[in-house]
A and B are shown apart, each in its own frame.
Chain A
């Protein structure tokens, strides 16, 4: 794997450490950290800062019986954990968990582009995108923050080149046309806080159908 060049920002890592990032973005952060030693180290730094804040927090006295209950529970058998899916091929463990351990079930979007939505709620959505070599994702803006992590292949847009492991962080102001590099199909994990707005007429008509 080539060196990762595009990393997560400090505010994203801090918000993820505080567990306050919407689910869709949190999946992209967890997936990137799984691939990127640098961002794993930086996340640990934020957790250390969180730990320092916890240390300095004015506490609330637990009720008298809690200590005994906790001590008594040490001997109880360990709760059986459901095994978490492991990394499979290009998909890091958190993506496999979102796929429930199964390979992706792609839905065609036209032009050879395919997607599978992994999660959508009121705060955003996250999907896998499959873009054939040389194909452009239709010109689009987005309501808010868009995070795109490359899992296979590479793409380029107005802002630069993104290879495997790189994450593109696009604000609402960016109207970009990502184009997959020649070679392998480009597979990305993409999270937005709003439905993607496509500018070409046909994709816009398709938008409600495909939730893209």
Chain B
């Protein structure tokens, strides 16, 4: 009988927590190796040339290092956090002005709750599974939507079903987040 591997945290989450809690440079280098090619791909897909795309990569990765204290694995996965930083950065560079951002929640630093993190990671696993199972045209639509290639009216007209799939897949995480936010108020 074999024991299942410890799947309570993805590599990226463990690296990110090591960066946040111990300023671990080896872990940061791993995060770089994981995200830099993807971030460069996203920036170039958004129309930047290779040199500018690398400026975005550098900027985003340094933000990950400097703002690591804001990372909370019980609320959003590393990839969501990096995605948010990258979209903001790319758009600020393109438009030469800051995008309006919601207020930051001011939270008490809490001990990482492994079970909470596990629940979140499981949700994200379901989400990735759901994305992979979409019909190719739908998957393309979702990709375009989150890469900023569709306008609001295009998203409204063309991605309804796929967005519904995504929404239903992350319900658990959302319920928990909602609960926590209520307690914060």
Q: Could you say which of A26, A31, A49, A145 contacts B166, with CB atoms under 8 Å apart?
A: A49
Q: Which residues of chain A in 31-66 are interfacial with respect to chain B, using CB atoms and an 8 Å cutoff?
A: 31, 33-34, 37-38, 40-63, 66
Q: Does B137 contact A (CB under 8 A)?
A: no
Q: Does B65 contact A (CB under 8 A)?
A: yes
Residues from chain B with Cβ under 8 Å of A40 in the complex: 102, 105, 177, 181
Count the A residues whose beta carbon is within 8 Å of the partner chain — how many? 62
Query: Residue-by-residue, is B68-110 near A (CB-CB < 8 Å gives 1, otherwise 0)?
Result: 0000000111111111101110110001011111110100000
In the complex, the answer to whether B146 meets A49 with C-beta atoms within 8 Å is yes
A114 nearest CB across to chain B (Å) = 22
In the complex, the answer to whether B152 meets A54 with C-beta atoms within 8 Å is no
B51 nearest CB across to chain A (Å) = 9
B21 nearest CB across to chain A (Å) = 16
In the complex, the answer to whether B185 meets A25 with C-beta atoms within 8 Å is no
Q: In whole angstroms, what is the CA distance A86 to B81 when docked?
A: 22
Known contacts A27-B100, A45-B173, A60-B53; A19 and B148 CB within 8 A of each other: yes
In the complex, the answer to whether B145 meets A14 with C-beta atoms within 8 Å is yes
Q: In whole angstroms, what is the CA distance A17 to B21 when docked?
A: 27
Chain B residue at smallest Cβ distance from A93? B103
Q: Could you say which of B40, B128, B163 contacts A59, with CB atoms under 8 Å apart?
A: B40
Known contacts A56-B131, A66-B36; A47 and B50 CB within 8 A of each other: no
Chain A residue at smallest Cβ distance from B33? A67
Q: Could you say which of B76, B90, B155 contacts A15, with CB atoms under 8 Å apart?
A: B155
Q: In whole angstroms, what is the CA distance A62 to B34 when docked?
A: 11
Q: Could you say which of A20, A45, A49 contacts B142, with CB atoms under 8 Å apart?
A: A49
Q: In whole angstroms, what is the CA distance A14 to B8 when docked?
A: 28
In the complex, the answer to whether A54 meets B42 with C-beta atoms within 8 Å is yes
Q: Does B58 contact A (CB under 8 A)?
A: yes
- List the one stretch of A70-78, A129-137, A178-186, A195-203 in contact with chain B: A70-78
Tell me the B residues contacting A by CB distance below 8 Å.
Answer: 25, 28-29, 32-33, 36-42, 44-45, 50, 53-54, 57-58, 61-62, 65-66, 75-84, 86-88, 90-91, 95, 97-103, 105, 123-124, 127-128, 131-132, 142-143, 145-153, 155-156, 159-160, 163-164, 166-167, 170, 173-174, 177-178, 181-182, 184-185
Q: Which 4 A-B pairs have the closest CB atoms?
A: A59-B37, A51-B79, A37-B181, A51-B80
Tell me the A residues contacting B by CB distance below 8 Å.
Answer: 9-12, 14-15, 17-21, 23, 25-27, 29-31, 33-34, 37-38, 40-63, 66-67, 69-71, 73-74, 78, 86-87, 92-94, 97-98, 145
- Enumerate 5 A-B pairs (CB-CB under 8 Å) in ascending A order: A11-B155, A11-B160, A37-B182, A54-B146, A62-B54
